[in-house]
Amino acid sequence: MKKTYIILALLTLAAILPIFGKGNQLTCSGSTTVLPIAQATAEAFMDLHPEVNISIRGGGSGVGIAALQNGTVQIANSSRRMKSKEIAAAKAKGINPTPYAVANDGIAMVLHKSNPVKNLTIAQIKSIYTGKIKNWKDLGGANLPIVVISRDVASGTFEVFNEKALAGAKVESSAQLLASNNAIVSTVGSTPGAIGYVGLGYVTADVKICTVNNVSPSETTVKNQSYPLSRQLYMYTNGKAKGDAARYLLFIQSAAGQAIVKKQGFISL
């Protein structure tokens, strides 16, 4: 009889352990730029800590920030700093957004590979995106209409680009607004005359990078911010990170985590 009770007790314990395991669930949401960093570092972290399960979703920086404000995620991935109005809205709900830098990045201006234009100034980029310059011949290129590709308004990359390149000006109404970095690379790569912008980790051989103000995005120029479209990438938590979230963020900022950041095509802290 005693042996039977022991077996039943062990079976009961085995049944309830998964329930306790759910307490080690981390949910991250937000920036598609930060997405590959979050996914790759989460996989490495979970290999080291199999008791932790990290769920990663995209959707854009604005989506992640809204989820943090609503308390539905532990970590919001963002390719920009939170706005003061977003912080105020979060605090009104009892959420205290706290940023953790996870990588450096440069927003790369990408063109179709057949485009001979090698450099654009910030002023020229602004004129393209506001519709003042409509043909590549006006920039030393072929007699070809410019196809403007931009990110949607939920994108942190759009927010940074809008601030640093457009000075807040409105993107022309005929621009194609796409929901991800991958979509921009795919569209620009298959569309002669197209121009777009993406995080460095998304640049592929299907497109060409043009310099901005004669500066290429590189580890040196991004870190010293001589590249005009430099930025940092962030993960936000509610207050100072604790428990598994703190361990995960420390891992990302460690030498091992930053090696993964570089492997993903971004620039380490």
Residue 54's closest CA among 248, 258, 257, 261? 248
Give the DSSP H or E segment for 198: strand 194-199
pLDDT at 13 over 60: no
For residue 231, give both structure tokens: 């930025």
Domains in the chain (CATH in brackets) are 2-104+234-263 (3.40.190.10), 105-230 (3.40.190.10)
pLDDT in tens, 122-181: 999 999 999 999 999 999 999 999 999 999 988 999 999 999 999 999 999 999 999 999
CB atoms within 10 A of CB 57: 15
pLDDT at 8 over 50: no
Predicted confidence band of residue 24 (pLDDT cuts 50, 70, 90) = confident
* pTM higher than the cut 0.85: yes
* pLDDT given for residue 152 in this prediction: 92
* Percent of the chain clearing pLDDT 70 (strictly above): 91
Amino acid at 79: S
pLDDT at 23 over 70: no
Mean pLDDT of the chain: 92
For residue 133, give both structure tokens: 């310059």
CB atoms within 10 A of CB 34: 30
